[in-house]
Amino acid sequence: MKAYEIMNHLEKYFPLNLQMDFDCCGLQIGSREKEVKKVYIALNADNETLQACIENNCQMLITHHPFLLEKIKNLDTSLHQGKFIERAIKHGIVVYSLHTCLDRGQNGISMNDWLIQKLGVHDVACYDHYEVGKKATLNQAMEGQDFIEYVKDKFHLQHLKYSKNTNKMIHTIAICGGSAADDLEILTGQVDCYITGDTKYRHAKYAIDHDCLLIDPGHHLEVIIEEKLPELLEDLSIQIQIHESLDYFKYE
């Protein structure tokens, strides 16, 4: 199967016109005409996943986070960006990334649909005009501290951080994988709890002041792509290898 056939298949779910202005989705490196027998799926396009892709005899690396998000000023192969591109080309690896196209996927197939459905909800809807973040009602309301443990269990987390206002019932929630803490202002008065990554001290204060429990499970929550994306490729005549991505952070 040609690389462009796999791209076309993915773009039925995540068309490139969904990407946000700052983003760089789609083909990152390589030829659309490359013959692909085996794809490697990972959260990140980095040295670790490229090496694993090569070692597992894959011809295509499909990721959520794009390699080309930062502007390339030169192709110095002694530096990270140039070295990555050189190795990918040398080994004939096609690198393709979904990022905000997947974040903004439609018809219940998107990053945040996948995340919020893990928590047992109904009445799922977008909460922002970008159609990225999702809000919903829990099938079963629970105390704040119990909900924190529930989130840890559902996403297999040992650690997360949260605002101290846990003494409240959680009926409605919102979630945005990655980094969207400033959406707290949009959600004021809409939900009892907001889940997102990369939060700061000021976000916790805002959440407490506006009676919204804030839970930060980390940016790595988006690793759900390694579970869900292969399901969309099952009908293609290719082999699929799935990376087991670890969080860039370690916690003591």
SS3 137: strand
Residues with Cβ within 8 Å of residue 6, at least 6 apart in sequence: 36, 39, 60, 62, 96, 233, 236, 238
Per-residue pLDDT of the chain (252 residues; tens, 9 = 90+): 999 999 999 999 999 999 999 999 999 999 999 999 999 999 999 999 999 999 999 999 999 999 988 778 888 999 889 999 999 999 999 999 999 999 999 999 999 999 999 999 999 999 988 899 999 999 999 999 999 999 999 999 999 999 999 999 999 999 999 999 999 999 999 999 999 999 999 999 999 999 999 999 999 999 999 999 999 999 999 999 999 999 999 887
Calpha distance 46→139 (Å, rounded): 38
Cα Rg of the chain (Å, integer): 19
Which domains occur in the chain, in start order?
3-103 (3.40.1390.30), 111-218 (3.40.1390.30)
Calpha distance 172→191 (Å, rounded): 5
- For 116, phi then psi, to 5°, come to -70, -30
Calpha distance 163→179 (Å, rounded): 16
Dihedral (C-alpha) 178, 181, 112, 44: value to the nearest 10 degrees?
Answer: 0
In terms of Cα–Cα distance, which of 6, 202, 216, 196 is closest to 103? 196
